[in-house]
């Protein structure tokens, strides 16, 4: 039976009153309703919704908490990539960023001319976790973590518990959709209270507010999230093409406030670079009085038109920079110098010192990188050192307090022989690295095996570091190829390995033989050949034989590949010329590895392009594509792979140099810009047709 008009009208009135009260309390920090009154109205709403469940709507205050715990989080693709920012740590690096920005905008000053002034917005960099919020017709429909920038974890139920995130936009005519980006965080006072409660219950304490926030957002029970009282600042929005939109970042912040979001009140509109430097300097001390953690400021070009013109690199927008404050420092006493041997034989000195608390964690080790850094620091036994976290993450030794050096302290230096195998260490002229060149060194072998089986390589599940150490230490594996000669009976006899685990590992190793050519190439661990370069090389060279031939006789074919330079070509030449590596390739081939493009890599649109002869002109070479919106059947990553396999390049931003824009449903502002610039627009069907036509 349909509800009577009376409860319907009362429910709507209660929602309006409660949402307005929550906005005043959590966003404006100006309560307009006493707690007992709020509680009474909230209870009335619950009673009406329980009596008339058909009246419950997604924007009701009752829907913020109370869902049953989730069992997992699904991965979702961001409508618009959620990229991270490049960092700068001082005014010199800020000026260098500004210079690059002027160059890409064709605004570089002439000789003797002052720097052109571009208006920018300075915002405090909140030390929390980035979120992407999706609203449709004004209602919150999805919330996701950053993830890898392209895909994140869908945590909508948890984000609904954050009182400063509106469930419905406070707009009379909301857009069809809008993407909001911002930072979830735990205020310092709330964090202290959470740790006090955990300590009283005998639970482990959280290291810092940022880690507590990240862990909270991934809680399976939204009631736990609600109890931890997260907060949220919004800072960016993306609207559909044709929608009335702000023309500047400053207007965007005002739009967000009008829509009901909490925006950090300390943002400033800055007329030039000098004002940015002053803003950064002024907050170095002021930030310590804030109720939440901030480790820097974010600087953004104000005009959105200029942001579009500046575009993006592969990882970050060119029009923004995170200007970070100097890391917290702490003194400690050096206990010893140890050395690690990497998979390429590089010896890395490591300082081990008495534990110190830095940025919320306990630190007792820091890499010293190489012999040059060791000599520069002039480390002696028993020295008192100053340690900090570079970028708030990686521990590093900043300097030595020589005035506290013990009498008769001896200088420290790298050993002359490998700490793992005893072989004499080598340092080539002009190189910073000191290496063990014994290819049979256990440390090098362990590193090579870990690299081969990792997720970017052959992705062998069940073969972790501990098991690799056992296999190498017992002499059961002497090369990558030996992994594929192991049987389940032998593996089951090892520590912490049962029969089922052994059988699963043998099956995983067998399955890994079908991994695509670019993963096999990356897994070989060739110096300077990372995942991205391996993909580029695998697209250009059909197999290991073609790549080896080019490395030996025609290195110019290698450097002709987009993104590949002379350093990589030289590294490939050295690797393929090494007899032990030639022997390894032969063994892998005899074990059933393709060491080239085959099977699925040669199927579908663009077939044959991956296996094209080395140096052949790829069909879409020199053409740049931009992807926007949701395609009917292809994910963004799948479409990008097809384009790149055909020699094309995928960019994150539209410019006059863009060859095509591939647009799907709910395409973003890129579609409008493409139309303005006259860039050809393709559907998914058009793209697949183009790829089919490009086949030889």
**Helix and strand totals (H; E) in the chain:** 24, 22
Q: 150, 317, 290: which is closest to 209 by C-alpha?
A: 290
Alpha-carbon span 65 to 46, nearest angstrom: 12
Extract the tokens encoding 312: 């993006």
Alpha-carbon span 296 to 123, nearest angstrom: 9
User: Which residues 6+ apart lie within 8 Å of 201 measured at CB?
Assistant: none
> Which residues are known to be catalytic?
125
β strands within 28-82, DSSP E: 75-77
Alpha-carbon span 360 to 2, nearest angstrom: 56
Pairing of strands 624-628, 425-426: unpaired
User: Which residues 6+ apart lie within 8 Å of 197 measured at CB?
Assistant: none
498 burial type by CB count under 10 A (0-12 exposed, 13-18 middle, 19+ buried): exposed
With residues binned 3-state (H G I as helix, E B as strand, rest as coil), the percentages for the chain, rounded to 5, are 40, 20, 40
Strand partners, 303: 248
Alpha-carbon span 111 to 451, nearest angstrom: 50
Q: 256, 274, 227, 278: which is closest to 165 by C-alpha?
A: 256
Are 522 and 509 in contact by the 8 Å Cβ rule? The answer is: no
3-state secondary structure of 76: strand
User: Which residues 6+ apart lie within 8 Å of 33 measured at CB?
Assistant: 17, 21, 24, 25
Alpha-carbon span 180 to 166, nearest angstrom: 11
Strand partners, 121: 269, 300
Are 250 and 302 in contact by the 8 Å Cβ rule? The answer is: yes
User: Which residues 6+ apart lie within 8 Å of 239 measured at CB?
Assistant: 175, 178, 245, 669
Alpha-carbon span 298 to 303, nearest angstrom: 15
**Could you tell me where the DSSP H helices lie in 529-565?**
531-540, 544-553, 555-559
Alpha-carbon span 334 to 348, nearest angstrom: 17
Are 536 and 564 in contact by the 8 Å Cβ rule? The answer is: yes
Alpha-carbon span 470 to 446, nearest angstrom: 10
User: Which residues 6+ apart lie within 8 Å of 256 measured at CB?
Assistant: 180, 234, 235, 237, 263
What's the chain's length in residues? 696
Phi and psi, residue 331, nearest 5°? -85, 155
DSSP class of 623? -
Q: Which residues of 179-199 are buried (b: 16+ CB within 10 A; e: fewer)?
A: bbbbbbbbbeebbeebbeeee
């Amino acid at each position: 039976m349909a509800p009577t008009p009376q409860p319907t009208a009362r429910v709507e009135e209660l929602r309006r009153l409660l949402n307005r009260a929550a906005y005043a309390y959590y966003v404006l920090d100006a309560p307009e309703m006493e707690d007992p009154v709020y509680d009474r109205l909230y209870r009335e709403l619950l009673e009406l919704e329980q009596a008339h469940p058909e009246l419950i709507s997604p924007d009701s205050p009752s829907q913020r908490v109370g869902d049953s715990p989730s069992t997992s989080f699904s991965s979702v693709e961001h409508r618009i990539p959620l990229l991270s920012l490049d960092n700068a740590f001082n005014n010199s690096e800020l000026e260098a960023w500004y210079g690059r920005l002027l160059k890409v905008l064709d605004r570089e000053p002439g000789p003797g001319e002052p720097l052109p002034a571009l208006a920018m917005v300075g915002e405090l960099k909140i030390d929390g976790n980035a979120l992407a919020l999706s609203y449709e017709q004004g209602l919150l429909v999805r919330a996701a973590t950053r993830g890898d920038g392209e895909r994140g974890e869908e945590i909508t139920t948890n984000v609904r518990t954050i009182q400063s995130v509106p469930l419905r936009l406070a707009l009379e005519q909301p857009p069809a959709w809008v993407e909001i980006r911002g930072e979830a965080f735990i205020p310092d006072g709330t964090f202290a209270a959470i740790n006090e409660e955990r300590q009283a219950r005998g639970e482990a304490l959280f290291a810092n507010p940022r880690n507590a926030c990240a862990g909270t957002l991934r809680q399976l029970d939204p009631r736990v999230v609600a109890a931890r009282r997260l907060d949220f600042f919004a800072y960016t929005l993306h609207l559909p093409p044709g929608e009335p939109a702000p023309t500047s970042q400053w207007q965007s912040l005002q739009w967000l406030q009008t829509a009901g979001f909490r925006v950090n009140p300390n943002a400033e509109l800055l007329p030039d670079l000098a004002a940015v430097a002053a803003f950064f300097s002024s907050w170095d001390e002021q930030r310590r009085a804030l109720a939440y953690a901030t480790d820097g400021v974010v600087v953004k070009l104000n005009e959105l038109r200029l942001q579009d013109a500046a575009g993006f690199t592969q990882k970050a927008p060119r029009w923004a920079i995170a200007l970070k404050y100097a890391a917290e420092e702490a003194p400690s006493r050096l206990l010893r110098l140890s050395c690690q041997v990497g998979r390429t034989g590089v010896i890395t000195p490591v300082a081990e010192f008495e534990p110190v608390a830095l940025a919320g964690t306990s630190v007792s080790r820091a890499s010293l990188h190489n012999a040059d850094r060791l000599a520069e620091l002039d480390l002696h036994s028993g020295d008192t050192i100053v340690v900090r976290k570079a970028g708030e993450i990686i521990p590093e030794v900043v300097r030595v307090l020589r005035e506290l050096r013990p009498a008769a302290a001896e200088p420290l230096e790298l050993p002359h022989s490998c700490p793992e195998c005893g072989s004499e260490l080598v340092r080539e002229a002009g190189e910073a690295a000191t290496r063990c060149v014994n290819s049979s060194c256990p440390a090098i072998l362990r590193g090579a095996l870990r690299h081969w089986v990792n997720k970017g390589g052959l992705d062998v599940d069940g073969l972790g570091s501990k098991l690799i150490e056992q296999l190498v230490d017992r002499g059961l594996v002497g090369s990558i190829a030996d992994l594929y000669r192991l049987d389940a009976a032998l593996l089951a006899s090892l520590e912490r390995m049962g029969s089922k685990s052994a059988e699963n590992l043998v099956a995983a190793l067998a399955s890994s033989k079908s991994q695509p050519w670019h993963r096999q190439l990356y897994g070989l661990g060739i110096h300077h050949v990372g995942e991205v370069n391996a993909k580029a090389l695998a697209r250009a060279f059909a197999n290991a034989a073609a790549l080896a031939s080019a490395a030996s006789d025609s290195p110019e074919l290698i450097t002709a590949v987009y993104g590949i330079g002379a350093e990589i070509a030289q590294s490939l030449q050295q690797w393929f010329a090494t007899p032990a590596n030639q022997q390894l390739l032969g063994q892998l081939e005899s074990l059933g590895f393709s060491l080239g493009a085959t099977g699925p890599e040669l199927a579908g649109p663009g077939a044959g392009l991956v296996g094209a002869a080395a140096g052949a002109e790829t069909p879409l070479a020199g053409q740049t594509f931009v992807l926007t919106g949701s395609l009917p059947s292809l994910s963004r990553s799948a479409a990008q792979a097809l384009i790149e396999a055909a020699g094309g390049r995928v960019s994150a931003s539209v410019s006059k140099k863009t060859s095509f824009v591939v647009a799907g449903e709910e395409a973003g502002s890129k579609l409008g810009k493409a139309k303005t610039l006259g860039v050809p627009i393709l559907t998914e069907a058009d793209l697949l047709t183009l790829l089919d036509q490009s086949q030889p």
